[in-house]
Amino acid sequence: MLEITALQKTYKLGKKKEIPVLKNINVTIQDGEFAAIIGKSGSGKSTLLNIISGLDTDYTGKVLYNGEDLQEIDMDKYHVNHVGFIFQSFHLVSHMSVVENVKVPLYLNPELSESERNERARDLLQQVGLENFESQKPAQLSGGQKQRVAIARSLANNPDMIIADEPTGALDSVTSAEIIQLLQDLTRQGTTVILVTHDLNIADKTDSVLRLADGEVVSFERKKEVTKKHSLKKEKKLRLNGWAIAKMSFRSFFNRKFRNLLVALGTSIGIIAILLAFGLGNGVNQSLSKIFGTTFSPNQITTYYLEDGGSISPEPTVPLTNSEIKKVKQLYQDENISEVYERTTIKGIKFEYDEEILEGVSGEMQEANFKPARYEDLTVEDGYLLSGKMVESEESGAVIPSGVARKILGKSDTAELTKKDGDKLIGKKIMLLYAGRNSDSANIVKTETVITGITNPSKEGFARGFDVSTKTMNDFIETAGIEKPILSVDAFTKTTSQAEQVVEKYENDKEWANYAITNANAFVDTFSQFTNIIVYLVAFIAGLSLAVAGVMIAIILYIGVVERTREIGVFRAIGYRKRHIRGLFMMEAGYIIILANVLSSAAAMTIAKLVSPILETKIGFEEMIHISFWNFLVTLVITLIIGFLFSIYPSNRAAKLDAAEALRSE
């Protein structure tokens, strides 16, 4: 039973002006009654209907439904359990099929399974005579058919009251009569129907007629007493499952696919940049540890003198004096390290092969015996050598850089160099040329040696030196007539952690301020930190473009809210809570982000595949761009968070739409 007492409603126009629209309405409508509200346009019919239906609770007076005050109860629950709406302009969701439209209210009933929902929706369509139109879109239906779909939808949750605002206003008289017949059948089954109409013929068919003029009741005539006593119905729980939100928002997302694709493409640009920055960082770090891992032992400590009062230099540049060598050896002894080598290095070596000086290549010659602990490991198999083998200290020999091999073979710097090419040079004689510290070209000294091996181009990126045997080094020193230049004193510890501890111990020691005491591992770590900073910086800058993407998403959602105002109004009237509406819009933003991630992941992987080999030939690092699974995941999560943040405002706008207002907008 619906009891309205002393109901007054005023609309405020501006700050001061108040327009009374409903003035002291008192009326009672029985359960199961077919009631008509008639009156001229502007007499307040729709306003009254909105109040009865709970869409508008801003009034004075009392409206009680089964004894409960509409201003005090949970409106969404009231809608789901008791009210079904039918509108003059149908308000069907245009991108959903007929059956989907009918299912919209059913998603709020957690007791139904998906197949039960389908079954129920089909039953309802059969009830209104539309069983053959299930998969049609509303645009393919006539007005009468659309209104039947709307009626089926209004009945979905078994309401005990149907509220219809001029349901036949847009229909011809024959169709109109059919719709009224349908509503009449419903009242026979015990449903209350309250209907606004202009049509006096329709009013004739109802049980009662409420006549309004200027917001006042002119007359209330009950032609037929309604005897049916309505049993109080047990209220169902109202819950919307996540799957339904995902499904409906995906439909809406798909319905605007072109526009969403554009936004996703825009978003991809930033994501691609971030993925590539991460990928490049990984590639550099991996290459670094590979190179240092093969050319330096992690157990090796290298100590050398720093020029310019201790500024950091990544490699030794000046020879140590005898007293400095002694000092370093003492340090190793204090640390109980027994395996110590003086490392002889001579820079600026040129090459002559077959009586011809090789132009454009020079190298830093080092005595290979300074790293015996690693010596045997450096083979063709592990990739350090392209061909041949390492030198043996008693015999004459040199492992030459790949650049020198290319020059000898007459190949360009970027040309491929195979093991077979290298094999041709093994055992061949080569001259090492030295013009002295001052590059005095008039006094070039030559020393003959034998090529025993060629370094793999991908492994010599940082290790610019090339190894010669102790015999070749001694021959060279003798012919050049120079003192053995010891650039560093190296030591090998038993464990890597011991090497790292020693490095750490002397790091801030003032006495050793002019020395670099280094370990390859520690060096790779520092270098990785450095690359990581750059990577994060680039990623951050790329991330800024994601803020732009966020704004785009916010705009596109906001446009969606404006376009879908009536749809949102219908959903709210059906009983969807504010948070459900919010969820539907946020989910749509989620789909845009996911699409953007899929697109950019594909693009970034393609770029990595195409560019890595080019970088390899240019820089010599393998797999320079390596995007890991974690990079993809982190980027996805970050962009989802951004999408979430930027969808808060438009989603809230949608959720807070006034349903009565939204449905009025034609």
φ and ψ at 17, to 5 degrees?
A: -70, 125
Q: How far is the CB of 137 from ligand ADP (least distance, A)?
A: 30
Does residue number 88 form part of the binding site for Mg ion (CB under 5 A)?
Answer: no
Does residue number 266 form part of the binding site for ligand ADP (CB under 6 A)?
Answer: no
Tell me whether residue 69 or residue 661 sits nearer to ligand ADP (CB atom): 661
Residue 47 contacts which entry, Mg ion, ligand ADP, none (Cβ below 5-8 A, type-dependent): ligand ADP
How many angstroms separate the CA atoms of 594 and 11, rounded? 45
Q: Quick one: which of 7, 38, 46, 80 contacts ligand ADP (CB under 6 A)?
A: 46
How many angstroms separate the CA atoms of 93 and 169, rounded? 19
Tell me whether residue 47 or residue 300 sits nearer to ligand ADP (CB atom): 47
Tell me whether residue 30 or residue 46 sits nearer to Mg ion (CB atom): 46
Residue 597 contacts which entry, Mg ion, ligand ADP, none (Cβ below 5-8 A, type-dependent): none
Going by C-alpha positions, the residue among 529, 531, 614, 542 that lies closest to residue 284 is 531
Tell me whether residue 329 or residue 664 sits nearer to ligand ADP (CB atom): 664
Tell me whether residue 198 or residue 256 sits nearer to ligand ADP (CB atom): 198
Give residues with Cβ within 8 angstroms of 589, minimum separation 6: 553, 557, 643, 644, 646, 647, 651
Residue 252 contacts which entry, ligand ADP, Mg ion, none (Cβ below 5-8 A, type-dependent): none
φ and ψ at 25, to 5 degrees?
A: -90, 130
Tell me whether residue 39 or residue 283 sits nearer to ligand ADP (CB atom): 39
How many angstroms separate the CA atoms of 116 and 121, rounded? 8
Residue 11 contacts which entry, Mg ion, ligand ADP, none (Cβ below 5-8 A, type-dependent): ligand ADP
Task: Match 């749809």 to its residue by tokens.
Answer: 567
Q: Amino acid identity of 485?
A: P
Does residue number 323 form part of the binding site for ligand ADP (CB under 6 A)?
Answer: no
Q: Which two tokens stand for residue 367?
A: 């005595």
How many angstroms separate the CA atoms of 337 and 280, rounded? 38
Does residue number 39 form part of the binding site for ligand ADP (CB under 6 A)?
Answer: yes
Does residue number 47 form part of the binding site for ligand ADP (CB under 6 A)?
Answer: yes
- Residue 221 is given by DSSP the state E
Binding-residue total with Mg ion (CB under 5 A): 1
Q: How far is the CB of 666 from ligand ADP (least distance, A)?
A: 12
Q: Which two tokens stand for residue 222?
A: 């009950």
Scored b (16 or more CB within 10 A) or e, 584-617 reads bbbbbbbbbbbbbbebbbebbeebbeeebeebbe
Q: Quick one: which of 11, 243, 530, 649 contacts ligand ADP (CB under 6 A)?
A: 11
Residue 103 contacts which entry, ligand ADP, Mg ion, none (Cβ below 5-8 A, type-dependent): none
The stretch among 40-48, 363-371, 451-459, 506-514 that binds Mg ion (CB under 5 A) is 40-48
Q: How far is the CB of 32 from ligand ADP (least distance, A)?
A: 25
Tell me whether residue 46 or residue 469 sits nearer to Mg ion (CB atom): 46
Tell me whether residue 42 or residue 310 sits nearer to ligand ADP (CB atom): 42
Does residue number 44 form part of the binding site for ligand ADP (CB under 6 A)?
Answer: yes
Q: Which two tokens stand for residue 133?
A: 């139109």
Q: How many CB atoms lie within 10 A of CB 490?
A: 22
Q: Quick one: which of 43, 469, 631, 651 contacts ligand ADP (CB under 6 A)?
A: 43
How many angstroms separate the CA atoms of 86 and 573, rounded? 10
Listing DSSP states for 651-666 in one string gives: HHHHHT--HHHHHH--
Does residue number 167 form part of the binding site for ligand ADP (CB under 6 A)?
Answer: no
Helix (H, G, I), strand (E, B) or coil at 249: helix
Does residue number 47 form part of the binding site for Mg ion (CB under 5 A)?
Answer: no
The stretch among 43-51, 500-508, 632-640, 655-663 that binds Mg ion (CB under 5 A) is 43-51
Q: How far is the CB of 214 from ligand ADP (least distance, A)?
A: 9
Residue 44 contacts which entry, ligand ADP, Mg ion, none (Cβ below 5-8 A, type-dependent): ligand ADP
Q: Which two tokens stand for residue 297?
A: 């032992």
Residue 243 contacts which entry, Mg ion, ligand ADP, none (Cβ below 5-8 A, type-dependent): none
Q: Quick one: which of 30, 43, 46, 647 contacts Mg ion (CB under 5 A)?
A: 46
Q: Where are the alpha helices (DSSP H) in 424-519?
A: 470-480, 496-507
Q: How far is the CB of 144 from ligand ADP (least distance, A)?
A: 22
Listing DSSP states for 510-577 in one string gives: GGGTTEEEEEHHHHHHHHHHHHHHHHHHHHHHHHHHHHHHHHHHHHHHHHHHHHTHHHHHHHHHHT--
Residues within the interface to ligand ADP (CB under 6 A): 11, 19, 21, 39, 41-47
Residues within the interface to Mg ion (CB under 5 A): 46
